[in-house]
Amino acid sequence: MDIGFLAQYLMNGLMLGMMYALVAVGFTLFFGVLDVIKFSHGDVLTVGAFTALATYLGLEQIGVTDPATQILVMVIVSTVLIGGLGAVIARTVILPLRSAPPLNTLLITLMLGTVLREAVRLFYPEGGNPKPFPALLPTDSVTFGNFNLRLDNVLMFGAGVLVIVGTQWMLNRTKLGLAIRAVAQDEETAKTMGINFNLIVFITFALGSALAAFAGVMNGLYYNEINFGMGLLLGVIGFSAAIVGGMGNLYGAILGGFLFAALQTIGAVALPFASAYKDVFAFAVVIAIMAWRPTGLIQEKVSDRV
């Protein structure tokens, strides 16, 4: 195959991998702090994307037309509101179920995802139809043979890198991150040391949900379209990426996200009827990896969890 086509597929894979990694990091944060698998996470992403779109329409109505300002406000409003939604979910759904069997939490969050998804479909104007998402980033590009490097892709990928690096820095270099890691390692000892457990849980769920909202905005800008069911597949892929990377491990979640995107890209290049089978190929390889390494590619260092 022409090297330009390969480079194009590589760039597409990097963009997908960044979105998957952002979603997977949310899953691993939730599991790391509370051992919770929140299956509504993909639908939270959907709400974030539609919140950004509603913000854009509102800005247009009041006469704010500068693309840079629009994107900045959309990202801020979406991440803040969806972060708040994540904290509310933690307060009203997750914490009250801490003493319940894990299956109860799994089922409740699965149903919550359906509620969020259907709420978008029913209450957003014509929410059942796909919505065009504004193309606000520069469309300039540089062509090298069959490879077309678009500036908007570079900007989105760079923003995603900054968000993930910032999250990693916060978790490893700040007192808040230390508190989150302490709660994840040993809840009782963290409480004894004076850490506000509930507050840390709220912040963690807000952070993970804000990352999902950012991924939703990125997805809208990349495809220029969103729909009320977009979180279903993204949630499953993000969860799969977190599992294959090593649930509870931040670096494993990032690795899993890019691995899944790489598998989709390989499937699209190597298989016949690529668009139909690339997801099947990716999930099949993930199943094989999990059969080989049930703990994930990067096993969590902490073996005894509370």
List per-block mean pLDDT (blocks of 10 residues) for the chain, which spans 306 residues: 72 92 94 88 97 97 95 98 97 90 89 96 94 92 78 93 95 93 89 92 96 97 95 94 88 93 84 70 89 78 42
- CA–CA separation, 245 vs 243, rounded Å? 5
Tokens of 59: 């800005």
pLDDT number for residue 9: 80
CB 141 within 8 A of CB 151: yes
Q: SS3 for 306?
A: coil
Res 300: pLDDT: 60
Per-residue model confidence (pLDDT) at position 303: 40
User: Exposed, middle or buried by CB within 10 Å (0-12, 13-18, 19+), for 143?
Assistant: exposed
Strand partners, 147: 144
pTM above 0.85, yes or no: yes
The per-residue pLDDT for 217 is 97
| Segments making up each domain of the chain, as ranges | 12-139+146-231
CA atoms within 13 A on the CB side of 11: 18
pLDDT at 218: 96
Q: What is the pLDDT of residue 4?
A: 67
